[in-house]
Chains A and B, each alone.
Chain A
Amino acid sequence: MKTLKRAYLALILLFLYVPIAVLILQSFNAGISRAKWEGFSFRWYVQLIQSPNIMQALYVTVTIAILASLISTILGTMAAIGIHAMSKKPQSMMLTLSNIPMTMPDIVTGISLMLLFIFTKMDRGYFTMLLAHITFNTPYVVLSVLPKLKEMNKHSYEAALDLGATPGYALRKVILPAVRPGIITGAMLAFTLSLDDFTISYFTTSPLVQNLSTLIYSEARKGIKPTMNALSALMFVSLLILLLLINRRTAESS
């Protein structure tokens, strides 16, 4: 029985991770054929770095992730503080409104944002993609900051006012320090989601402004080049590291 259990677990992990392992292995394959191992090489990684297209996409991906996570962290934190201060009924309404976008399929969010940009006659490109990323990131920040606010003694803010602090001073010196762990987790989550996103980016940008995932997609349609293996392997590893960091933070705080 015990061996059966182990075999079952091994099988599941195999199915989950073999494709990624193969991808990473292939990215180090010296030959162009995927059927044959022709020796270990960094050839595709070198080509990757030398390709201006890919470097441009990397630049777009990273800058959008940084800007979007930064702005959505500010917006999300403010929203969380506001929602926390509401009385019960409007609070649960606002929470539902803020949670629904997270449960919506990406494709629906993507298409509706695209339609909105067309309707408002905004040229799709870097800016619209940034707006889209801020939009889908913000609820996640709200969700990671709110529990920290709930943990606070509900009189902490009043105590600060009582001691002479203006509301702004109390926000900076009492509320923000108390919820800082939630803010950082939210920012990291937003950054990861932004790096990771394909569907929504695909619908809200133009073919001239590609991030890594949309670039991989359009290259893959022309036939998969080994550089894409290398690129995918890099993305996988960097996202893995980020996710591990976030998981460790949440495990520590709970």
Chain B
Amino acid sequence: MQEQQKLITLENISKEYDGTVVLEDINLYVRKNEFLTLLGPSGCGKTTTLRIIGGFEKPTTGSVIFDGQDITDLPPYKRRVNTVFQKYALFPHLNVFENIAFGLKVSKRSKEEINERVAQMLDLVNLKEYGKRRVDSLSGGQQQRIAIARALVNEPEVLLLDEPLGALDLKLRKGMQLELKRMQQRLGITFIFVTHDQEEALTMSDTIVVMKDGRIAQIGPPKHIYDEPKSAFIANFIGESNIIRGRMIKDELVNFCGTNFTCVDFGFAKDAQVDVLIRPEDIVIVGEDVGQLVGTVKSVLFKGVHYEMIIDAGGFSWKVHSTSMQPEGSQVGLSIVPFNIHIMKPMEEEELDE
């Protein structure tokens, strides 16, 4: 399958600015036709990584391999990638048509070809009648589409997108997420997408690369990252979570809140300190006589699809999501199935490793 083909490989990439380390030993590959998302909080190095692939920054060490060729020193205008910039960076002195045609004019295409391909692009982004408009007369969402069209018209093999939906309001953002994903599948182009929005990353990506402090924290498909986060940081960053200190009794048995729980994890040393992750939607509220833990409902928030309850049980405040509401102050039992208890190496140990 062609999906196995590595299109871009980052090898041991590090980047320093005036002695400050921004990226440290990044190793990553991107397959053809993949939708890969670089996800992380601001300052984690995701944009710098993208800029290194685009050719706007040179790594301090390491190399960028594109289709088997080392392109580390190749300037941006010789790379077969195009970028959609944050805030779009459209050219204000050119109209919509001229903006999209810019790349084709640079490569000296014939007038007929330019007209035809720009028209196709305007059609693709649903802005057919807008060719003659000034770019600053367009809304944020429309400018966003023009920026995408301006990049895609050059038929790049890879499209880099730097927080392209950051400036749009929620509803427009959701719409554009679907539209981008649809475009990516239709055109068969590799997308490398940068965002700090975990929900966006989970919705759109084939692969998510979680970054923290200039390093890669975890790589994997969205479901895997959500279900099996490697650390408390990732668990907290992606989705909501309860993270509690625990101790391994033996394989597949963990103790927290003074109670032994059956789990599915093994391979930890006996009595090892661990972080236990339980997602709020994985805690089931049962009768107080049958619960593994018993506690009191402290607060209830209505969140639309579900209720979010804070329940004090076993000396810990649990965040619980449920579609049925328990009144504040009531006693409830909590039950967690083994499959939903996820054991991770504790934070300190992970940081010692670094």
Contacts and interface: CB of A to CB of B under 8 A. Distances in A.
B91 A162 contact: no
A178 B54 contact: no
A114 B55 CA distance: 49
Interface string A221-233: 0000000000000
B82 interface: yes
Interface stretch (A151-159, A182-190, A245-253): A151-159
Interface residues of B, number: 25
Interface in B40-64: 54-56
A163 B150 contact: yes
Contacts of B333: none
B85 A159 contact: yes
B87 A155 contact: yes
Nearest to A165: B106
A165 B150 CA distance: 13
Given A165-B77, A174-B91, A177-B93, A160 B102 contact: yes
A110 B99 CA distance: 48
A24 interface: no
Contacts of A74: none
A155 B85 contact: yes
Given A162-B76, A163-B154, A178 B106 contact: no
Interface in B140-154: 150-151, 154
B218 interface: no
Contacts of A166: 77
Contacts of B87: 153, 155
B92 interface: yes
B207 interface: no
Nearest to B75: A161
A163 to B, nearest CB: 4
B75 A164 contact: no
A158 B93 contact: no
Interface string B63-93: 0000000000001110001110111111111
Contact of B89 (A158, A165, A169, A173): A158
**B86, B93, B107, B151: most-surrounded residue (chain A CB, <10 A):** B93
Nearest to B80: A164
Contact of A163 (B56, B86, B88, B103): B103
Interface string A11-37: 000000000000000000000000000
Contacts of B55: 161
A162 B83 contact: yes
A163 B154 CA distance: 8
Contacts of A162: 54, 76-77, 81-83, 151
Given A163-B154, A174-B91, A155 B86 contact: yes
Nearest to A163: B103
B161 to A, nearest CB: 12
Contact of A161 (B76, B88, B150): B76
Nearest to A174: B91
Contacts of A155: 85-87, 89
A160 B77 CA distance: 8
B77 A161 contact: yes
B88 to A, nearest CB: 8
A163 B102 contact: yes
Most chain B CB atoms below 10 A, which of A162, A165, A174, A177? A162
Interface of B: 54-56, 75-77, 81-83, 85-93, 102-103, 106-107, 150-151, 154
Given A158-B54, A163-B150, 16 more contacts: A153-B87, A155-B85, A155-B87, A156-B91, A159-B83, A161-B56, A162-B77, A163-B77, A163-B154, A164-B77, A164-B106, A164-B154, A165-B106, A166-B77, A173-B102, A177-B93
26 contacts: A153-B87, A153-B92, A155-B85, A155-B87, A155-B89, A158-B76, A158-B83, A158-B89, A159-B90, A159-B91, A160-B91, A161-B55, A161-B76, A162-B76, A163-B77, A163-B151, A163-B154, A164-B103, A164-B106, A164-B107, A165-B77, A165-B106, A166-B77, A177-B93, A178-B91, A178-B93
